[in-house]
Amino acid sequence: MTKKTNNKEYWVGVDLGGTKMLVILLDRSFRPCGRKRKKTKAQSGMDAGLARMVDSIREVLDEAGVVPEQLRGIGVGCPGPLDLDSGIVLEMPNLGWKNTPVRKSLEDALGCPAIVMNDVDAGVYGEYRFGAARDVRSVIGVFPGTGIGGGCVYEGSVLRGKNGSCMEIGHIPVDPQGALCGCGQRGCLEAMASRLAISAAAATAAYRGEAPNLLAAAGTDLSNIRSGVLAASVEAGDKVVDRILRDAARLIGWTCAGVVNLLAPDCLVLGGGLVEALPDLFREEVDRSVRSRVMPAYRDAFSVVVAKLGDDATAIGAAAWAEHAQR
C-alpha cells in the first residue's frame, strides 16, 4: 500500500513501559491505522533502547505506507520521573535509563515535534478525548494495577507539577499504621489496595484454604495471581477473594472522596487491568463509597465510569497531547 506524501496528517503515540512498548499510528482523526508491540530489552541500555523505539516507529510507518515527512507529531507516555519541558526521562530503572533525552532523540531521528508525558496522564487524556470521559470539564482517572496510578484533565489541560507530573493518588496516606509502600512511606493507598496488595491478601487466603478455586488455579505464588485469575476465582465462588476485592475498591473510593472534595470533577474514570477484569465490581463499590463519603454538595455532581480504550489509552492519549501542544 502506498500513500501520497503531500500532507502531514499522521500522529504516533508510544506507550513505553518497563517491559514492553506499544507504538500506534493514528490518522488525522486519531483513528488507529497501524500498531506494533515489542519487548523493551532491559539489558541493552539507553542508546540501544532509544534506537529500538525509533526503529519500531519506522516499522509501523513502513507497514502503513507512511513516510516520516507525513508525521505531525509523536507523543510518548512513560512512567515517571520526567522532566516534562525538556522531554527527558530522568529515570527508568527497568530499562537502565537515566537522564534519557527521549524527546530530542525522536525529533532528531524522525523530524517532527515530540512530547513526553506520564503514562497515566496520557491514559486519562486519551479517555477524555476519545473514551469514557469525552469532553467533560474535568475528569480524574484512577488506575489500580501493581500500584495505583492517578491523573487529572482539568478544563482541557493535563494537571501537572512545575517540572513533572502530579496526582499521585496511589500515594495518598490512608492509614498511619498501614503496610509499607514502594515509595518508602507507610499506609499509602497503593500499599493497601493495589493489585499487589489484593493478590497478597488473596494468596494468604488461598494458603489458609479459604479460597479453594484460587488455590487450584494459581496456587499461592503472588506472581501467578493476576487480575484475570482473581476475576475467575470470584466467578467460581471464592467469597473471601470477592470480599478482599470489594474492601480494596471501597478504600479506593473512600480516598477518591477526598480528591472529589478538592477538585469537584465531573467524572471519575476507573481503568487498568484489575478494573477491566472486574468492571462491575469496581464501578459499583467505588461509586457507592465515594458518594457516601463526599460532602453533600458533591454527592450527585459527578459520574463514575469504566475506561473504554484499554491498553491503547496511553499511546492514543500521548499522541493527542502532542497535538494539543501544537495548538
- Rounded Cα gap, residues 228 and 248, in angstroms: 16
Taking the least distance from each CB to Zn ion, the nearer of 267 and 274 is 274
Start-to-end CA distance of the chain, whole Å, equals 31
- Rounded Cα gap, residues 242 and 278, in angstroms: 10
- Report in angstroms how near the CB of residue 322 gets to Zn ion at its nearest: 30
- Report in angstroms how near the CB of residue 317 gets to Zn ion at its nearest: 24
- Rounded Cα gap, residues 327 and 325, in angstroms: 6
In 3D, which of 142, 121, 118 has the Cα closest to residue 258? Answer: 142
Taking the least distance from each CB to Zn ion, the nearer of 25 and 198 is 198
Residue 167 phi/psi, 5-degree rounding, is: 60, 50
Amino acid letter, residue 31: R
Rg (alpha carbons) of the chain, rounded to whole number? 20
- Report in angstroms how near the CB of residue 263 gets to Zn ion at its nearest: 20
Taking the least distance from each CB to Zn ion, the nearer of 93 and 237 is 93
Taking the least distance from each CB to Zn ion, the nearer of 51 and 183 is 183
- Rounded Cα gap, residues 170 and 142, in angstroms: 9
Taking the least distance from each CB to Zn ion, the nearer of 158 and 181 is 181
Amino acid letter, residue 174: V
Taking the least distance from each CB to Zn ion, the nearer of 17 and 182 is 182
Taking the least distance from each CB to Zn ion, the nearer of 19 and 185 is 185
Residues facing residue 14 across a β-bridge: 23, 76
- Report in angstroms how near the CB of residue 162 gets to Zn ion at its nearest: 21
Edge-to-edge strand ranges of the sheet holding 114-118 = 32-39, 20-26, 10-16, 71-78, 114-118
Helix axes 239-263, 279-293, angle to 10 degrees: 50
- Rounded Cα gap, residues 323 and 327, in angstroms: 7
- Report in angstroms how near the CB of residue 181 gets to Zn ion at its nearest: 3
* C-alpha cell belonging to residue 325: 501542544
- Respond yes or no on whether the N-terminal peptide bond of residue 93 is cis (omega within 30° of 0): no
Taking the least distance from each CB to Zn ion, the nearer of 187 and 228 is 187
- Report in angstroms how near the CB of residue 148 gets to Zn ion at its nearest: 9
Taking the least distance from each CB to Zn ion, the nearer of 188 and 315 is 188
DSSP run (H or E) holding 277 = helix 273-277
**Whether 222 contacts 230, CB under 8 Å:** no
**Whether 168 contacts 160, CB under 8 Å:** no
Which residues lie near Zn ion (CB under 5 A)?
A: 171, 181, 183, 185, 188
